[in-house]
Amino acid sequence: MTLDLVDRVAAVLRETAPPVEGESLRPAILEAFDRELRAPARRPALRWSVAAAFAAAVAASWLVVAARFESAPPIVRTPVALAPAVPAVDRAFQEALVKARIAALRETVASVGREPVERVVPPATVAPPARPVAAESLAIRKVAAAADEPVGALYRLASARRFESLDREGAAERYRELLQDYPDGSAAEVARARLRDLSR
Amino acid sequence: MPASRDGELALRADPDGELASRADPDGELASRAQLGDREAFERLVERLLPRVRAFLHRLSGSRGSPDDLAQETFLVAVRRLRDLREPERVASWIFGIALHVHRESARRTRRGAELADVPAAVGRTGAEADEERAIVNDAVARLADRLREAFLLRHVEGLSPAEASLALGVPEGTLRRWDFEARERLREILKGRGIGGPATRPATRIAP
């Protein structure tokens, strides 16, 4: 029988077997299950008491901060800061970032009386790459170019956002890792906001 | 996830017949495990652990311990099982965690995700088979990480495009493109190395 190359490669790879499974592996996993999921009665109460204590601590510290900075100006939320309200790297987020960036460019251009905005953003930076890419990848590249944001940070953001539908804690972990690697910038700001939302 | 032979056997072996009418035993088992059903969890581990171990082994070659990585994967899964929103997608979810664990491990050790040596093999023996395995493993190791992950999930683990894209955290279109690129690249690498022509024995086809 003639096999396609993919089938043949896959068949060869399937011949690659891991070493024999360690005897302690399954017991360790099942023990973790017993610990985590077989004590349902105590956990909610514990969680609520921890949550209540945390809320009280936050409220107390907020009162102290508020008293000290009563006259501080209100925080102005930028379009980027509002972005977490919509799915990451969706149209609204892209538009917010692009608009913010282009608005800033327009202001700069107007102030020095130079060329129109369209020339300030070099076409090469927003042009589609040579190879055809999926719509989301293209959108991410455009946003990255327009907002001076690392492409990798936006990819990670999109990936974490997508994982939210499956597993919120897993998504939170991805946001935290994004923050480790890209602590500054809009993607970090969005990741922080998503983390705050997820912890509620 | 695609119905596997193991899945069919598990359905037949189900003593209560509870799963008999279910097309997705993994999803059913995950739902029950979320409620604290240990037996369901044990069966889920039985079904998914070997696949996850093999996948991690293929990703990390002889440089990583599949037991350590698989244990970490399942411990994370146990911790988050109650938060799993769509139990029917448990396989994608677990493979997604496994990928994450593997990448973190590779980053920590700075050894990359290479298939450094040809891992131990089952099935065919002999010099010719060993050589073919070496060539194929070397070709797969040359793929970029994302292409290798996409290829393994799709063609070796047998996940559907939707499942694989979910595990990788990318849109399905991106997964399809990576898969296409991986196949093209493999074709290029293996061209002229004696692989790609007619094979001498049939391979088990996993669901598309």
Q: Is the full-model pTM beyond 0.95?
A: no
How high is the pLDDT of residue A7? 87
Which residue out of A4, A7, A15, A175 would a mutagenesis test of the B interface target, given it has the greatest number of B Cβ atoms within 10 Å? A15
CB within 8 Å of chain B, chain A residues 131-190: 133-137, 158-160, 162-163, 165-170, 173-174
**Distance between CA A111 and CA B189 in Å, rounded?**
55
Residues, chain B:
208
Q: Which two tokens stand for residue A20?
A: 């024999």
Percent of chain A surpassing pLDDT 70: 46
Interface of B with A in 66-125 (CB under 8 A): 66-67, 70-71, 74-76, 78-86, 89, 92-93, 96-97, 100, 118-124
User: Which residue matches tokens 């059913």?
Assistant: B28
The CA distance from B194 to B198, in Å, is 10
Cβ within 8 Å, pair A9-B136: yes
Q: Please check whether residue A153 is in contact with residue A178, taking contact to mean a CB–CB distance below 8 angstroms.
A: yes
Which pLDDT band holds residue B93 (cuts at 50, 70, 90)? Answer: very high
Taking the C-alpha atoms of residue B33 and residue B41, their distance in angstroms, rounded to an integer, is 5
Please, are residues B58 and A16 in contact by the beta-carbon 8 Å criterion? Answer: yes
A38 touches chain B (CB under 8 A): yes
Gyration radius from chain B CA atoms: 18
Q: Which of B12, B89, B94, B92 is nearest to B45 (CA)?
A: B94
pLDDT at A99 over 60: no
Across residues B157-167, what is the average pLDDT? 91
Contact B78 A134 (CB under 8 A): no
Burial of A138 (0-12, 13-18, 19+ CB in 10 A): middle
Instruction: Report d(CA B101, CA B107) in Å as an integer.
Output: 10
Considering only residues A167 and A122, tell me which one the structure prediction assigns the higher pLDDT: A167
Write down the mean pLDDT value for chain B: 78
Beta-carbon-side half-sphere exposure of residue A18 (alpha carbons within 13 Å): 23
Cα angle for residues A183, A188, A190 (degrees, 5° grid): 165
DSSP-derived 3-state class of residue B121: strand
CB contacts < 8 A (A, B): 184
**Pair of tokens at residue B40:** 């369901």
- ipTM of predicted complex: 0.73
Residue A16, beta-bridge partner list: B121
On whether any CB of chain B is under 8 Å from the CB of A42, the answer is no
| pLDDT (mean) for A165-182 | 85
DSSP collapsed to 3 states, B163-204:
HHHHHHCCCHHHHHHHHHHHHHHHHHHHCCCCCCCCCCCCCC
* B123: pLDDT strictly greater than 70: no
How distant is the Cα of A114 from the closest Cα of chain B, in angstroms? 39
Tell me how far the alpha carbon of residue A12 is from its chain's centroid: 37
What's the pLDDT score for residue A113? Answer: 40
Q: A12 or A59: whose pLDDT is higher?
A: A12
> pLDDT band at B91, cuts 50/70/90?
very high
Instruction: State the Cα angle at B184 between B183 and B186, rounded to 5°.
Output: 65
Q: What does the alpha-carbon distance between residue A114 and residue A106 come to, in Å, rounded to a whole number?
A: 10
Residue B1 binned pLDDT confidence (cut-offs 50, 70, 90): very low
- How far is the C-alpha of B184 from the C-alpha of B179, rounded, in Å? 9
- pLDDT > 60? residue A109: no
Q: Residues of A with CB below 8 A from B79's CB?
A: 32, 36, 169
Q: CA-CA distance, B100 to A192, in Å (whole number)?
A: 20
Q: How far is A197 from chain B (nearest CA, A)?
A: 15
Q: State the average pLDDT over residues B151-180.
A: 91
Percent of chain B with pLDDT over 70: 72
Task: Choose the mutation target among A33, A89, A165, A199 for the interface with B, i.e. most B CBs under 10 Å.
Answer: A33
pLDDT for residue B119: 53
In this predicted structure, what is the pLDDT of residue B9? 40
Give the Cα separation of A16 and A141 in Å (integer).
38
Residue A45's alpha-carbon distances to A51, A52, A54, A56, A60, in angstroms, are 10, 10, 14, 16, 23
Inform me whether the C-beta atom of residue B186 falls under 8 Å from chain A C-beta atoms: yes
The pLDDT-based confidence of B50 (bands split at 50, 70, 90) is: very high
**Chain-wide mean pLDDT for chain A?**
66
Question: Which A positions 53-112 lie with beta carbon below 8 A of chain B?
Answer: none
Q: Closest Cα of chain B to A102: distance in Å?
A: 28
Amino acid in the structure at residue A192: R
Instruction: Using DSSP, state whether A173 is helix, strand or coil.
Output: helix
More confident of the two residues B205 and B53: B53
Whether B130 has a pLDDT exceeding 50, the answer reads: yes
| CB spacing of A166 vs B86 below 8 angstroms | yes
B178, two tokens: 């990576």
Nearest to B67 among A3, A25, A32 (CB): A25
Q: What is the band of B179 on the pLDDT scale with cuts at 50, 70, 90? A: very high
Dig out the tokens for A101 from the structure: 């960036």
